[in-house]
Structure 1
Amino acid sequence: MDAKILHKETGFTIIELLFVILIIGVIMSILVISWHSQAPISELNNKILQLSMSMEYCQTKAILTGNKWFIQFDTAAQNYIVVNDDGWLGTITEVDMWGKKWPARNFFVGSNDFSEDSRNNGIVDSNEFDKGPFYLGAGQKFLDATNVTRITFNPEGDCYNDAGLEDADIWIANQEYLSIYQGDINNGTADQRKFRQGIRVCSLTGNIETVNN
C-alpha cells in the first residue's frame, strides 16, 4: 500500500493538529469571556434567591409561631438579619402551670420565659435575633431605590413595612450597574439593567416576587 495513502488513513498531519488546537483555543476563549460576563449576574441571582428564601422563612415562621417575624436591612453595612419578635428572655421553661413540659422558646400564656412588653414590639430585643447577618457580595450594594429598612410578617401571613407602602421594594446591584445608576432605577440599557435586581413584597397579600425590569 502506498505510504502516503496509509498516513492519510491512520493519522493527522502537524498542520491539521495545529488547526484543531487553534479551534479549541478559540472556543475556550469564548467560553471564558462568556463566563466572566455571566458570573456577576449569577452571583446577583444567588443573593436575590437568598433574600427571597429568608423572607419566605420569616413568613412561614410567623404563621407557625403566632408572633411577628421581621427582616431588618442595614443599607450602610450592606447586610440584613432575621428577627423573631417573640419577647423571649433566653431562659428555658421546664413545665407550665399545668405541669406540662415545654421545649425552649415555646411560647404559652403565663410563661415567665417571655416578656409581653418585648413581644411584637418591633425592636430587636436581646435573644430575639434568629439568623444573619447576611452580607451582599463584593461590589454589591442596596440601591437608594430600596424604599424600606424593615419588612415585618404577621401570623396571618401578610406583612407591612416601615415606610407604610403597599409594595416594598428591595433593590440590589452589582458594581457594573452602580456607575450608571445615578439614583434612577430605570437608567441603563436592558443589558445593563441585568446587573440590578429587586424583590417586591405586597403588604396586602404577603406575596414575594422578583423584579428586574
Structure 2
Amino acid sequence: AHSDDKGLVVPPKLAPIHGVVVPIWMKDHQVDDMLKAGQELFNKLQETYPGLDFELDDRRQQKAGVKFAQWEQKGVPVRLELGPRDLEKGQVVVVRRDTGEKEFMSQDEAIAKFGELMTTIQSDLYEKAKAFREENTHLVDDYETFKSSLEEKGGFYLAHWDGTDETEAKVQAETKATIRAIPFGDTEEGKCMVTGKPSKQRVVFAKAY
C-alpha cells in the first residue's frame, strides 16, 4: 500500500520530508531568478509549518524530469514545481505523490492549504490500506482449503489455532505462512484448522514476502 512502480509512497505522519520545492528553468539566464523564487517559497513553507520538513532542490546540473523521478522514488508526499511561467502568474504546481494529481494554485493558496493537504493524503492512504487489507483477508476453517487458497491468491487468513508452537511450525514448514497477528477482542472459540483441538480465538496467518 505504501509503494508503486515509481517507488515509495510515504504517509505524511511517517515522512522524513513532507514537501519538496523544485524550481524549473529552460535557459541559463533563468537559473538565478528561479532559484531565488524557489528559496522564497521554501522559506515561507518553513515559517508557516515549523513542525513539517521541507527540501529545496536547487541542484543546477540535474534536469527537472530526473529530479521529479528521484523525489517520487523517495515517496515525498507533495512536490511543488515552480517554472518561469508559474513565476509570472504567481502560481505553483502542486503534485500529490499518492495519486499523481497536479493542481495549479497561487503561491499563497498552496502555502495556506499545505497542512490540510497533508491531512487529506494521510486519510486517503489509510483508507486505501484498510480497503486493501479487507479485500485480501479471508476466513477459513479447513486446513486443506487454507493451503490451496494461500497458494492461489495469497493474502491474510483468519483461522483457529490451538496455541501450540508445534502447530505453527507445521503450518510454516508446509506453507511458509506464519502467525502475523493475534487480533485483540476476538473471543470466538472454535477448533484448530490443523489439529482439530480447541482454539480460544482466530489468528492471522500469512506469508512474509
Higher RCO (CA-CA < 8 Å; seq separation 6+): 1
Specify the structure having the higher radius of gyration (Cα). 1
- State if a TM-score over 0.5 links the two structures: no
TM-score tier, shorter chain, comes to: under 0.3
